[in-house]
A and B are shown apart, each in its own frame.
Chain A
């Protein structure tokens, strides 16, 4: 189910996911393309967060879970035995629902991903930190506070810091798991602008419970319900001319 003909950057085929005996995803097939923003919407508990967390195998850390079906990154199965999960997560970055900076300085937060890869050169680190902060539109606000604890930033700044931290390791795909649900409307607008910008260089996937946000930032929208993909198409089509009755009911606010 792919609305675009070019090869997908990351795509799932008949993806099933189980928490113990309960099935959270049912045969979900979605493809996400380069330089596009793909939004996943749906009511709470529909499996959208579970879905996005399968893309960088973050669910691996939850005991008792199981994946079936395929997830392809550049055409290669991310569950194949010769794929290193650490390497996968470097290529597929993630920004979480709540801003979760480390209890370290602004600088150390961003340098973390590089340091674990063994980069020690101070000058290179400084360069990457600046570039990442600029990439997350945060540089001007924090350039004099790089040694301050990240917790001294506002919630919205912390979330952009987390985005900068994800950018620092130069991923190919960035996953946003409801990135604006814990920050105020002005900060939300900034993050949305940022996502708009990021798609120039990255493949972006965003989970959101905010339909207006999906309409504003995304090129493609997938509507999920009860673990199933109901409809997946160009965002404007989903919002103006949905094919499925459920999609229409959801986007017009008849349930949610």
Chain B
């Protein structure tokens, strides 16, 4: 009897503990969003939202007229991220296909953890590689003065997004029932045809989700792009231009901005825009994944 009571109490305590943990996580997230929102909104007392989003000049400390157009930074972010995906998605799918389809199981057992460990490399180290290795290489190949530009950022972000893309694509491909592959081979398809026409389409939603999660990883990355893309505030006209992304813009200026000024609020507004962008990407990934799971049922 007493034993029973004690057990019930423990059950309840454990349940309460986990419930608190769950609620806490949600509360913290909501808190971050609320802070971001409340600190960003005052910026629009002085800046017109359309100006903020569509003008390309960002010069909040100008002695004549402060300008708050973030379009250059938004475009830079999209360029660097898009370039990174252009590199990382094909390579990532290739590696995933190799791991799930071609590699000996022992090779896979070693390679997959190694790839996942790659995700743990600190971004400052990747940025360092960009400055001493990829940057000079890009400068040499394209005969530019220095290699601190959007292309460099794309290469580095591709490296950082690859582990996510490879790992999740590999999961998606491995989840394709073996029976599909057998059916295809038995019809006289080559392994390549089987991969391209049966396995990749069957795992497509998972692969798309992998790309989107990789994009989420790349779009919010700060330190690497701050170090390696050259920090030019001008509107980028190509991948060999130096750029400043939204993240590095915030990181550079927030340390020196006078608090509670329009400039200060505007930086939070950039953060809000970035938050909305990553939120949309993640939500799209979630929708795709869910659709995928429904189809499997």
Q: Which residues of A contact B (CB under 8 A)?
A: 56, 58, 61, 63, 86-87, 89-90, 93-94, 96, 98, 100-104, 112-113, 115-117, 162, 165-166, 169
Contacts and interface: CB of A to CB of B under 8 A. Distances in A.
Would you call the interface of chain B mostly helix, strand, loop, or mixed? helix
B182 interface: yes
B105 A169 contact: no
A102 B186 contact: no
A113 B188 contact: yes
B132 interface: no
A112 B197 contact: yes
Contact of A116 (B179, B182, B188): B188
Interface in B182-209: 182-190, 193, 197-198, 201-202
Given A94-B186, A169-B187, 15 more contacts: A58-B186, A61-B185, A63-B104, A86-B190, A89-B186, A93-B187, A98-B179, A100-B179, A100-B182, A102-B180, A112-B184, A112-B197, A165-B183, A165-B187, A169-B188
A112 B180 CA distance: 12
A93 B186 contact: yes
A165 B295 CA distance: 22
A63 B187 contact: no
A203 B138 CA distance: 63
Contacts of A63: 104-105
Nearest to B202: A103
B177 interface: yes
A116 B197 contact: yes
22 contacts: A61-B182, A63-B104, A86-B190, A89-B188, A90-B188, A93-B186, A96-B182, A98-B179, A100-B179, A100-B180, A100-B182, A102-B180, A112-B187, A112-B197, A113-B187, A113-B189, A116-B187, A116-B189, A116-B193, A166-B186, A169-B187, A169-B188
A61 B194 CA distance: 13
B173 to A, nearest CB: 14
A102 B202 contact: yes
Contacts of A98: 179
A162 B187 CA distance: 10
Nearest to B296: A103
A89 B185 contact: yes
